[in-house]
Structure 1
Amino acid sequence: MPTSSTSHVASAVPCPVVESLDAILPEEPLLMMGAGPVPIPAAVAKANTIVINHLGGTMVKVITQVKTMARYVFQTRSKWVLGVAGPGSAAMEMAISNLAWEGTRVLCIKNGFFSDRMGEMGRRVGARVSTLEVADRAVASLDLIAETIRRERPEIVTVVQGETSNTVWNYHLKDIAALAKAAGALVIVDAVCTLSTMPLEMDAWGIDAVITGGQKGLSSIPGVSLIAFSDAAWARVKGRTAPNAHWCLDASLAENFWHNAGYHYTAPVSGVLALHEALRLVCAETLEKRFARHLKCSQALQQGVTALGLQLYAPQACRLNSVVGIEVPGGLSPADVCSHISRQHQVEISGSFGLPIVRIGQMGEQCREHNLFRTVHALGRTMVDLGVKVDLPAGVAALERGLSGGR
């Protein structure tokens, strides 16, 4: 038996000796050009260092402005905009778990990894999920979607605007929503990588729930996200008879903080302040100019990559501009390319869930000319170093032409 507090302390877990972040992080910061997170502007970084009372008057003003700016970015007049203390996947789960429950008929249009995740979340809350499987590097035809809706009679249809896993753009989104609405179904859209990078009009297109993460097009920090519900979706949230099994993600409880200035849990105030500044910068630029910047930069990047002699993964008709997929030449793995470009050139790009591709993001602060020149040069040099024959001068020249308006 211990006879003193000293002997008790001696048997406890020993205090570890660990390295500081300065010792762990690379001497030169990595340029984040993958599928997210993305570089953040100075105003966002500064806001993320501030802590305020999560229930004070200042926070009420911040929240009010966040909702006002978010309505512009979502293109909705709906009152029901909420923040989520979690990644885009948490916002996705908030949408699913509040609108679907035991026995709810859900149709999941599956283009890849992230669209399938919505179906999995539906199954976990007991919904009857049917999946429309779409071939890789393709979108489903509207006729097939209409036929599937008629057969399955879903109460909810889930779809992703930009499937980042295989870089496919669901360009039929507006028409898909119209088909679902005509059949009486609510529509949930994953816009994690596309919100503020390309047009999405929640009200005009008849979408009932849109989710996004902070760390992609908005150029905010990871871990704080946004969701918007239509009036019809909110009526379903409030009309459910069984409580949501997810307490933190219960939209009715979240309403108390986001709309009634009351307590739900301690909000991630620094992250909300960062999100405020990110949204403010979007509004200052305007959506129209932001869409044009993203389109120009992404197309110039694609021209540069093609001129190097590499192949883009998704066909042009359904190619996502927000995240560009590039086929890895034979004999190499995505990990080979990603590790070399990071280690030798301090540029971070992404692999993708087993596909033979690497991905370069074009979201928010990634879409800057100096980032593109550095990335194309680093990608070309990486290929040369790994024994792949590419035309690096042609790639850089094509990028320059694309950015200056040439072809």
Structure 2
Amino acid sequence: MIGRVASPASWLVRPLVPSRSDIHVPIMPTSSISTVASAVPCPVVESLDAILPEEPLLMMGAGPVPIPAAVAKANTIVINHLGGAMVKVISQVKTMARYVFQTQSKWVLGVAGPGSGAMEMAISNLAWEGTRVLCIKNGFFSDRMGEMGRRVGARVSTLEVADRSVASLEQIAEAIRRERPEIVTVVQGETSNTVWNHHLKDIAALAKAAGSLVIVDAVCTLSTMPLEMDAWGIDAVITGGQKGLSSIPGVSLIAFSDAAWARVKGRTAPNAHWCLDASLAENFWHNGGYHYTAPVSGVLALHEALRLVCAETLEKRFARHLKCSLALQQGVTALGLQLYAPEACRLNSVVGIEVPEGLTPADVCSHISRQHQVEISGSFGLPIVRIGQMGEQCREHNLFRTLHALGRTMVDLGVKVDLPAGVAALERGLSEGK
């Protein structure tokens, strides 16, 4: 017999099975349900259409960068992260990444996270309590590797490098002799102050001769300028997807040398970071097994970004970046503005420009965004703005629009610049570079 609802005071219902009539299931009254549901009011929010500008912003800062149509399309697709199609995608991502890293090493992995996540994977897998680490500090991001080392208990010593300069090889050799590091960390391009460690190959040679492993941050430089992981003796290279590769933010790449991988596998204490444990990540990236649910759409986008790099070839890509960056630098100088880093150690992939006296980086960035729909970057307290020259940013139409917007912004903010001369210099630089 079907039971009936008991009195409202008891809030009970009899079960359908007569032989179990002694079992009672509580039912929350309607009044209680509505009370719980309204305890946190349903919010009223704006749609993205109401938040975002009507005209898309041209992303010309230090990252993220504009993405090609093929990358954007791939980022809309979801497939089984453990299926056969994904296995093929991962295999091709690793093959293409080896070309971009210039390594024969098997140990290429993806990271579900920003370039800093890949940085933390490198540090936390290769360093632990008591590991001696030498951090060559050129600025904000190179210092971050030292901080990550300290957080895993490593004994980190720092070679402080003056702003707008690089350490001499003699200084680095002395620091290596003094500290006897097991690991040396260095950035190829310090995006915070736009300094290029142009001695990277020689730095790696000094470290390797002393028996140290070398970790290189190539977040803003991979595919924008030469980096030869195997030939230069580098043991771990990290990069983000959202810069030179022109993929989406949030999916990154790391490559370990055989020597670095042997250290990863030989450690006795497990990595404190479960998601960033390279030994666990190996199961997904090399064995077709489960680690965690991979950022499928982001991996597909990364595949397409790498495919476009391979289609262009590194040689042509390096030449395009160099031509565009030098032309932009010539245009900025002809405007009458000053570049921040000296030419001898100036980074091409992110160009730093001194902000004229009386203005702040925020003044310039907000005006150029609001009035010209061009996004450029400030920089961690330094009196500069930064224009990126990575991947899809290095297109001639982007350069003309950005330089004109920068010049008009300066005029609007009361700075005397020669806008026609700047545009003419940009044109000459691009024409001469062909």
Alpha-carbon deviation of 1:276? 0.0
Alpha-carbon deviation of 1:2? 7.4
- Post-superposition CA distance 1:281-315 (Å, at most 9, x none): 00000000000000000000000000000000000
Quick check: 2:137–2:186 contact (8 Å CA) kept in 1?
Answer: yes
- Post-superposition CA distance 1:142-191 (Å, at most 9, x none): 00100000000000000000000000000000000000000000000000
Quick check: 2:220–2:240 contact (8 Å CA) kept in 1?
Answer: yes
Alpha-carbon deviation of 1:11? 4.2
* Distance in structure 2 (CA, Å) of the matches to 1:44 and 1:80: 24
Quick check: 2:374–2:402 contact (8 Å CA) kept in 1?
Answer: yes
Normalising by structure 1, what TM-score?
Answer: 0.99
Partner of 1:351: 378
Total equivalences in the alignment: 407
Alpha-carbon deviation of 1:12? 2.2
Quick check: 1:2–1:8 contact (8 Å CA) kept in 2?
Answer: no
* Distance in structure 2 (CA, Å) of the matches to 1:88 and 1:281: 20
Alpha-carbon deviation of 1:6? 3.4
Mapping of residues 47-126 of structure 1, within 5 Å: 47-126=74-153
> Given the alignment of the two structures, is residue 12 of structure 1 paired with residue 44 of structure 2, yes or no?
no
Alpha-carbon deviation of 1:274? 0.1
- Post-superposition CA distance 1:31-66 (Å, at most 9, x none): 000000000000000000000000000000000000
Quick check: 2:223–2:245 contact (8 Å CA) kept in 1?
Answer: yes
> Given the alignment of the two structures, is residue 299 of structure 1 paired with residue 322 of structure 2, yes or no?
no
* Distance in structure 2 (CA, Å) of the matches to 1:308 and 1:104: 49
* Distance in structure 2 (CA, Å) of the matches to 1:2 and 1:8: 10
Partner of 1:313: 340
Q: Which has the larger radius of gyration?
A: 2
Q: Which moved more, 1:156-165 or 1:4-13?
A: 4-13
Alpha-carbon deviation of 1:5? 3.5
Gaps of 5+ in 2: 1-27
Matched position secondary structure for 1:325: strand
Alpha-carbon deviation of 1:8? 3.0
Alpha-carbon deviation of 1:4? 3.6
Matched position secondary structure for 2:231: coil
Mapping of residues 3-402 of structure 1, within 5 Å: 4-402=31-429
Alpha-carbon deviation of 1:10? 4.7
Alpha-carbon deviation of 1:9? 3.0
Quick check: 2:323–2:433 contact (8 Å CA) kept in 1?
Answer: no
* Distance in structure 2 (CA, Å) of the matches to 1:379 and 1:85: 35
Matched position secondary structure for 1:131: strand
* Distance in structure 1 (CA, Å) of the matches to 2:39 and 2:409: 49
- Post-superposition CA distance 1:211-254 (Å, at most 9, x none): 00000000000000000000000000000000000000000000
Alpha-carbon deviation of 1:406? 6.7
User: Do the aligned partners of residues 61 and 3 (structure 1) sit closer, same or farther apart at CA in structure 2, a change above 3 Å counting?
Assistant: closer
Matched position secondary structure for 2:255: strand
Quick check: 2:169–2:202 contact (8 Å CA) kept in 1?
Answer: yes
- Post-superposition CA distance 1:116-158 (Å, at most 9, x none): 0000000000000000000000000000100000000000000
* Distance in structure 1 (CA, Å) of the matches to 2:33 and 2:156: 59
Quick check: 2:309–2:317 contact (8 Å CA) kept in 1?
Answer: yes
Quick check: 1:300–1:399 contact (8 Å CA) kept in 2?
Answer: yes
* Distance in structure 1 (CA, Å) of the matches to 2:433 and 2:145: 40
* Distance in structure 2 (CA, Å) of the matches to 1:64 and 1:276: 10
Normalising by structure 2, what TM-score?
Answer: 0.93
User: Do the aligned partners of residues 311 and 252 (structure 1) sit closer, same or farther apart at CA in structure 2, a change above 3 Å counting?
Assistant: same
* Distance in structure 2 (CA, Å) of the matches to 1:150 and 1:2: 75
Matched position secondary structure for 1:270: helix
Alpha-carbon deviation of 1:3? 7.2
* Distance in structure 2 (CA, Å) of the matches to 1:2 and 1:110: 64
* Distance in structure 2 (CA, Å) of the matches to 1:394 and 1:79: 50
User: Do the aligned partners of residues 46 and 145 (structure 1) sit closer, same or farther apart at CA in structure 2, a change above 3 Å counting?
Assistant: same
* Distance in structure 2 (CA, Å) of the matches to 1:32 and 1:297: 16
User: Do the aligned partners of residues 4 and 296 (structure 1) sit closer, same or farther apart at CA in structure 2, a change above 3 Å counting?
Assistant: same
* Distance in structure 2 (CA, Å) of the matches to 1:231 and 1:133: 30
Quick check: 2:109–2:281 contact (8 Å CA) kept in 1?
Answer: yes
User: Do the aligned partners of residues 307 and 15 (structure 1) sit closer, same or farther apart at CA in structure 2, a change above 3 Å counting?
Assistant: same
Identity %: 95
* Distance in structure 1 (CA, Å) of the matches to 2:29 and 2:187: 60
Alpha-carbon deviation of 1:345? 0.3
